[in-house]
Amino acid sequence: MKNNIRKISKQMSYVLRHNPDAFGLSLDAQGWCKVSDLLAAFKEKGTPITREYLEEVVDTNDKKRFAFSEDGKMIRASQGHSIRIDLGYTPEVPPEILYHGTAKRNLDSIFKEGLQKRNRHHVHLSPDLDTAIKVGQRHGKVVVPKVKAKEMHVLGFEFYRSQNGVWL
C-alpha cells in the first residue's frame, strides 16, 4: 500500500508540477486542477483511485507537496513547478538563516554561480537543518549551505513561504 501511495504521489508531482498534458489536464493560472478531473485522469490511465485515497496520498506526503483548495474541490502542487504558474504567495520577511540541502557534487557550482533555480521558478530553502538534510539526501552525499536570508531581504531579495513551509 505504501509503495502505491508513493507511486501515485510521484505521478501527481509530475502532472501537477511539470506536465499536466500527460494526463490531459488543464491547470488554472494558480496551478489548481479540479479534483474530479484528476481522479478521472487516473482512472483513464488505468490507475483508478478514490477521493479518500487521494486525501490519504496528500495527507501522508512527508513534504506536504500538495494542497486542496479551501472548498476541497481543487488540488495543486505547493511548489516546484517547471511550468509557468502564479502560486499567489506574497513576499514575507524570512528568518535570519535558511538552509539549502543539496548534493556535495553541486557545491563548486554553488560557490561559483550562487544558488540557481535551474528549471524551476524558485530556489527551495528549508527553515531548519534537519529538513534541509532530508532534502539533500535524495541527491547523493549531502551538504547544506546556509543562506543569510534576512541580509538578502534587506538587500531587496524577495522571499515567499509556501503552504508546506518551504521558503522560496
C-alpha cell at 87: 502560486
Q: Are 101 and 136 in contact (CB under 8 A)?
A: yes
Burial of 167 (C-beta count, 10 Å sphere; 0-12/13-18/19+): buried
- Measured in degrees and rounded to the nearest 5, phi and psi for residue 66 equal -125, 155
Whether CATH 1.10.10.970 fits 2-77: yes
Determine the pLDDT at residue 2: 67
Does the structural domain 98-154 have CATH classification 3.20.170.30? yes
Any idea where the domains of the chain sit in the sequence? 2-77, 98-154
What DSSP state is assigned to residue 2? H
Distance CA 20, CA 42 (A): 12
pLDDT per position as a tens digit, 98-150: 999 998 998 888 889 888 877 777 888 999 999 899 888 887 899 999 999 99
